Amino acid sequence: MVAEARRETITNVHSVATQPCGFFRCCAESGDMRNAKIVCTIGPASDGRDTIRELANAGMSVVRLNASHGTTAHREEVIEDARAVDDELDDPLAVMVDLKGPEVRTAELDDPITLPTDSEVTFVEGDDATPERVGLTHSIAAAGPGDTVLLDDGRIECRVERVDGESVVATVVSGGELSSRKGVNLPGVAIDVDLITPADEAELDLAARANADFVAASFVRDAADVYQIADALEARDAEDIPIIAKIERAGAVENLEGIVDAADGVMVARGDLGVECPLEDVPVIQKRIIRTCVNEGVPVITATEMLDSMISSRRPTRAEASDVANAVLDGTDAVMLSGETAIGEDPVNVVETMDRIVREVESSDEYAETREQRVPTAAEGSRTEALARSARYLARDIGASTVVAVSESGFTARKTAMFRPGVPVVATTPNDRVRRQLALSWGVRPVITEYAHDMETVLDNAVDAALGTGGAASGDTLVVLSGMLTEFEGTNTTNTLKVHVAAETLVTGKAAVAGHVAAPVYYTDTGDLTEIPDGSIVALGPNFEGEFTGDLDAVVGIIDAREGMTGYPAVVARELGVPMVSGARLPERVSDGSVVTVDGERGIVYDGDVIAAARER
């Protein structure tokens, strides 16, 4: 669970708006929450618990475990480490198991080999490779003369000359160095390989056993493939694990809408896409996929070679920085690092660099303007989407600091993120797995809360979370959207939209004299009012025994550290008609001149001027 930290007592005042603020404002300055999340592939350079912690502190939200490399047993150890780090930190850290899928890869090699241009090479199913004969994980005998064989994301290109049984003989059109276990693509050729391989079965067992937060399905062709993975998880009693469909085949692009409808998330796997499709088509395909996902409220990850040069360099290229920026401007939920964090020389530096690029983009007027121009429409008949879209504009128009989405399953929080509000989205949920899963969603800061048994408690928890995460300060206006599918009797909190003013409770005592006032507070142990300015709240210490001297008309409220509701201060408060709270000793950090609010009806003293929001309304 989240590490315990000292927290002030928080409550909320049922009131309304503060001063509206400009919508096009910098919302991603240093220290503020970043909207686009960062997914990191864990490998030999980053698989220790200490490094995982450093990556999380640098900005990683999701640990990706690539089943194409390493062993299932080692991935289970990494999941244990990730869970331990998640327990230590306030922000959630999710785990994604990325299935190898029906991929074709070259054999494992100790040292790279070179395939010279214009040389002849034979591809066979096997576990070794030479410049003349390259072993593959699966046969590619379905290819025919003239077909193209691409190795290592197209860095090496071969043309098929003939097929002899299970052997494919090809000419190297564009040669190069080939290292261990590189991907093999045959654009337009259907390789007869099962969607779920025996190796994937073991990874699905791991995902179910370790309660993985996501499973990424490779080489998805259509919605039926997504459902096949879902059936495999259900057979393992793991149907609650969301499926991320990786779009990396031309056929998947053609069936995009069906895949988005079937999947819980989508990954734009640009490496294979750039091999399967014409390279010049990939940027537009990426934008189309992101836009489709945003419009449907489905989280989308933009992946592959985003900061690739940082595998060995301290700084990215300008083109890579622009690549990340464009994905963020397009509205992606997350950007992903692969080799940069798996085998790179300085994984933590890479994440810090990615974090800086994303924050800089999100603090720009161009980003705010683009976000405002691309707000999806709510689906017809969807009450949750209609309210989530309304919450977005309501937060903008009343100057709210945060939208709080109360969400048991995560559905309401994801729908809130779908409309890309201009303020942070704090999601509260009683489900710790949902808390981690929401780590992937744009702009969402998930917080675990206990089950609430009435609407008042639900809203109190929501405001408490907003203040606890720093998304709001005492006196800020919040928009609270509750979409909990309640499981407790007597509570109906489904699809509720409310506006609240949040307030930090300084101290709770007894309501001695009713009324509300916000003003500077001044201490006295003697009752001497001669130095107290007009319009002040008087705080009496625990040793006060006498009577007031000076101008009583300067007093607009009384806070008495002593118990009792019938003593001298209470008599004066009633005569003056000012609110009073007894048995309330202010924290030492509240000094003379600090503005507080006295709620004489509830016996609470709040930090700041909580009444101002209602007054402005």
Label the pairing between strands 444-448 and 477-482. Answer: unpaired
Residues forming a β-bridge with 501? 13, 477
438 and 86 Cβ atoms separated by less than 8 Å? no
How far does Cα 260 stand from its chain's mean position? 19
Largest Cα–Cα separation, the chain:
108
Per 3-state DSSP, the chain is made up of helix, strand and coil in percentages (nearest 5) of: 30, 25, 40
* 177 contact partners, CB below 8 Å, separation of at least 6: 112, 113, 114
Q: 222 by DSSP, 3-state: which?
A: coil
Cα–Cα dist 59/350, whole Å: 10
- Cα distances (angstroms) measured from residue 70 to each of 77, 95, 97, 137: 12, 16, 12, 15
- The DSSP result for 518-574, as a single string, is EEEEEEESS-B-TTSPSSEEEEE-TT--S--BS-GGGEEEEEESS--SSSHHHHHHH
Q: Return the C-alpha torsion angle 407, 413, 416, 418, nearest 10.
A: -150
Query: Is residue 325 within a helix (H) or strand (E), and if so which, with residue range?
Result: helix 318-330
Cα 483 to Cα 492: distance, rounded to the nearest angstrom: 10
Residues 340 and 355: their CA atoms lie apart, in Å, by: 14
C-alpha closest to that of 40 among 264, 490, 352, 289: 352
Whole-angstrom Cα distance, residue 469 to residue 164? Answer: 64
3-class SS letters over 1-37: CCCCCCCCCEEEECCCCCCCCCCCCCCCCCCCCCCCE
Gap between the Cα atoms of 111 and 131, Å rounded? 12
Q: Nearest 5°: CA angle at 405, between 400 and 410?
A: 155
**Exposure letters 180-195 (e unless 16+ CB within 10 A, then b):** eebbbbbeeeebebeb
Given a contact cutoff of 8 angstroms between Cβ atoms, the answer to whether 124 and 89 are in contact is no
Residue with tokens 């699966």: 138
User: Which neighbouring-strand residues pair with 121?
Assistant: 170
Cβ-contact 579, 599 below 8 angstroms: yes
Q: Which residues contact 319 (CB under 8 A, 6 or more apart)?
A: none
Q: How many residues does the chain have?
A: 617
Q: Which amino acids are annotated catalytic?
A: 64, 105, 246, 304
Angle, alpha carbons 252-255-261 (nearest 5°):
110
Q: Residue 534's CB: how many other CB atoms inside 10 A?
A: 10
CA dihedral 139, 143, 147, 153 (to 10 degrees): -30
